[in-house]
Amino acid sequence: MLGLKRRNYVVLIAMVLIMSLLAVGCGGSQDQNAGQDAADSDVIKIGVFEPLTGVNAAGGQMTLEGIELAKEMYPEILGKKVEIVTVDNKSEKQEAANAVERLITQEKVNLIIGSYGSSLAMAGGPIAKREGTPVIGCSPTNPAVTLDNDFYFRVCFIDPFQGTVMSNYATETLGAKTAAIIQDVQQDYSVGLSNYFEKAFKATNGDAAIVAKLNYNTGDKDFSAQLTEVKSKNPDVIFAPGNFLECGILVAKARELGINVPILGGDTWEAEEFLNQVVDYQDIYFSTHFTAEEPVTEVSTTFLEAFAQKYPNKEVNAFAALGFDTYILAKDAIERANSADPQAIRDALAATSGFEGATGIITLDANGDATKTAVIKKVENGQFVYEAKVDPK
Amino acid sequence: MSPDIFLQNVANSITLGSLYALIAIGYTMVYGIIRLINFAHADLLMVAAYIAFYGMLVFTLPWYISFAIAIVLTTLLGVTIERVAYRPLRSAPRISVLISAIGVSFLLQNLGIVALGARPKPFPRPDDLVWNIQLGNVSFLSLTILIPVVTIILLLMVTFMVKKTKMGIAMRAVSRDFETSSLMAVNVNKVIGATFAVGSALAAIGGIMWSMQYPQVDPLMGLFPGLKCFIAAVMGGIGSIPGAMIGGFILGICEVMLVAFMPELSGYRDAFAFVVLILILLFRPGGILGENVVEKV
């Protein structure tokens, strides 16, 4: 081969590779209003950081659908056009921090929405706090997300409540006396929720009631060893909160290994990816934020109708409902503040009380957390089926 | 630990170990010939899984036709990658080819995300191949038997090809010295192309087996097996085909037995895999069968 020709090849390959990296690296970037003050602009910019690729992709995409639906219904706030700037945090903590940094310093957004995944939310939180931009979380349920952060709020319940709900359900409805826990040690959500479940379950059933506690890492595919250990302890129920990807394989594997006891999880299980893996099985229960069977407010009905119209082929889900609520709460706060200034929006958000959302009445406490009703769903005949509703005490 | 729980763990180890071994053979084969760690190997595995997935679900082909198409197309893709991304760099420093391989890997992953979507899809398990086997208290999938059998057949086939065929002799010559072999009328480009064809076919079979065992396909699905099987290949002595198989089984057995005997350490599985790797390399720097330099593929 001639030297020149070879060099051409090299240049070509290098260009293709660089372009592929650019195409990925720049996804979601918009033209900037550099130097323009966020509050005085004639558009209101809402930044969204959600996992649109990677292990949490489904959660981020469902949430984004809800946000986009709400934006379509209410495209203007205070007479100004709303612009949504979406940044994919790729299900990675570092990317989540970068995304928030970019939304604030480059895109100059007035407010941020996100992120699915407590670990991702916690990675972005401190930056928003430092820069003084308010963030509303849709579904991060770990208490640490809003703790010591005056700028982080959320429209969902938190894990101490969710863990207790599942523990009570296991004890009272399923009649369990012993439980095994399998957690993802890389996810704050999974570890946190497991601990709250453990605490509540031990409080009702004694310290010996948790017969096994096993770990895995995000991205693992093989759970046969952990499940074999659980099988040897023969618990009444298994609690395995975690990402829908890993848990789908984990739950299916448990059934293949002949473990037929009920398996319980948290709100992340409400994803098609999870259901696809476990369609053939039953006795699978999880808590979530919303159900189409029991619309709680008038806004729920509005949301359900709008969702069915915009996404006729999709199942309505809690994450879309929470995404919807985050947007309309943001709109409400900006209107109450009568300003797009981030500090003013923060103060209005902190004062949120009795706000009617699709997932229930939202009142934010001193930490910026909502106290809401939990819904328990189960897998039956290859579908998610509404099982029960648990009100906060 | 009761006997049936122990047997269950043995079954788990065999399943995991033989999957690692199957994919590690592809890594080691390419490395043995051209001293390139083909980072795109794990992504070829993903491509094969997707082709088989679409063949069965979208085109509703029988599983054996889908699998055959997946293997053929992945082989073609592997050869094309070698032609476009590695061959022009043949006389460049080795590090350039390595970077090119990493680039191809990213390219495939990101093309996958753009073209196929980032959300994982459920891989259909053909009923003819996958069923549950229950022996007393021990239950496992038919794959626990199928995968080791496939791995051993492929191992024998690759070994036969390398040792006995003309192409294999040429491969071994090329693996020693590109230039001298081309002086001896060996068509180096053709031989390396053939190596990539075989390596890619192995990746395709590995990808299909992997997706049947863990029935989920997504554009980044190659990352985890890629990392683990690379470790397995290095453990066994990269470049040595039986070594890759031994490395795969050792890794699988260690991972499962760590959790079985020390459940409280179950979160440290990956760390443990690396500890085993370091220990093996401390005592045998070339890997378990790596010392056998002369006999390399």
Architecture of domain A38-157+296-362: 3-Layer(aba) Sandwich (3.40)
- The C-alpha of A227 sits at a distance from chain B's nearest C-alpha, in angstroms, of 10
- The mean pLDDT value for A255-266 works out to 93
What's the pLDDT score for residue A26? 43
Closest CA to B218 of B291, B136, B109, B128: B109
Distance CA A323, CA A385 (A): 21
What's the pLDDT score for residue A3? 43
Highest mean predicted confidence (pLDDT) among A1-15, A317-331, B31-45, B126-140: A317-331
* Banded pLDDT at A108 (limits 50, 70, 90): very high
Distance CA B212, CA A293 (A): 36
Is the predicted pLDDT of residue A383 greater than 50, yes or no?
A: yes
Distance CA A52, CA A57 (A): 4
Neighbouring-strand partners of residue A238: A180, A263
- The mean pLDDT value for A257-265 works out to 93
Q: Hey, is the C-beta of B16 within 8 angstroms of any chain A C-beta? A: yes
Interchain contact, A53 vs B214, CB within 8 Å = no
**Number of Cβ atoms within 10 Å of the Cβ of A201:** 26
Q: What is the domain extent for residue B23?
A: 3-295
Interchain contact, A232 vs B100, CB within 8 Å = no
Residues in chain A: 393
- The C-alpha of A104 sits at a distance from chain B's nearest C-alpha, in angstroms, of 26
Interchain contact, A9 vs B103, CB within 8 Å = no
CATH of A159-288+376-390, one of 3.40.50.800, 3.20.20.20, 3.30.2020.30, 3.40.50.2300: 3.40.50.2300
User: Which CATH number fits the domain that encloses residue B33?
Assistant: 1.10.3470
* Residue of A15, A232, A280 to mutate for B, most B C-beta atoms under 10 A: A232
What's the pLDDT score for residue B34? 83
- The mean pLDDT value for B163-167 works out to 92
What's the pLDDT score for residue A343? 94
**A114, A48 Cβ separation under 8 angstroms:** yes
In terms of DSSP H, where are the helices of chain B? 3-34, 41-57, 63-81, 94-116, 143-164, 166-176, 178-183, 188-213, 223-236, 241-261, 269-283
**B54, B290 Cβ separation under 8 angstroms:** no
- Please list every residue in chain A whose beta carbon sits closer than 8 Å to the beta carbon of residue B137: 258
- Supply A180's token pair: 């095994």
Is the predicted pLDDT of residue A22 greater than 70, yes or no?
A: no
Interface of B with A in 180-239 (CB under 8 A): 213-216, 218, 220, 223-224
- The C-alpha of B297 sits at a distance from chain A's nearest C-alpha, in angstroms, of 27
Distance CA B230, CA B287 (A): 12
Q: Token match 């509540």: residue? A: A200
* Banded pLDDT at A15 (limits 50, 70, 90): low
Distance CA A221, CA A227 (A): 12
**What would the DSSP string read from start to end of B127-184?**
TTT--EEEETTEEEETHHHHHHHHHHHHHHHHHHHHHHSHHHHHHHHHHH-HHHHHHT
- The C-alpha of A350 sits at a distance from chain B's nearest C-alpha, in angstroms, of 35
Q: Which residue intervals of chain A bear CATH 3.40.50.2300?
A: 38-157+296-362, 159-288+376-390
Is the predicted pLDDT of residue A39 greater than 80, yes or no?
A: no
**B202, B26 Cβ separation under 8 angstroms:** yes
The structural domain count of chain B equals 1
- Please list every residue in chain A whose beta carbon sits closer than 8 Å to the beta carbon of residue B259: 214, 225-226, 228-229
What's the pLDDT score for residue A151? 95
CB–CB contacts below 8 A, A to B: 126
List pLDDT tens digits, range A117-137: 999 999 999 999 999 999 999
Instruction: For chain A, give the percent of residues with pLDDT over 70.
Output: 90
* Residue of B110, B259, B269 to mutate for A, most A C-beta atoms under 10 A: B259
Coil, strand or helix: which one is A139?
Answer: coil
Distance CA B101, CA B123 (A): 27
Whether the ipTM is more than 0.85: the answer is yes
Coil, strand or helix: which one is A213?
Answer: strand
Half-sphere exposure at residue B192, Cβ-oriented, CA atoms within 13 angstroms? 26
Closest residue in B to A23 (Cα) is B110
**B70, B52 Cβ separation under 8 angstroms:** yes
Distance CA A58, CA A244 (A): 9
Which residue among A9, A61, A256 places its CB closest to the CB of B141? A256
Is the predicted pLDDT of residue B211 greater than 90, yes or no?
A: yes
Interchain contact, A225 vs B9, CB within 8 Å = yes
* Banded pLDDT at A368 (limits 50, 70, 90): very high
Distance CA A334, CA A322 (A): 18
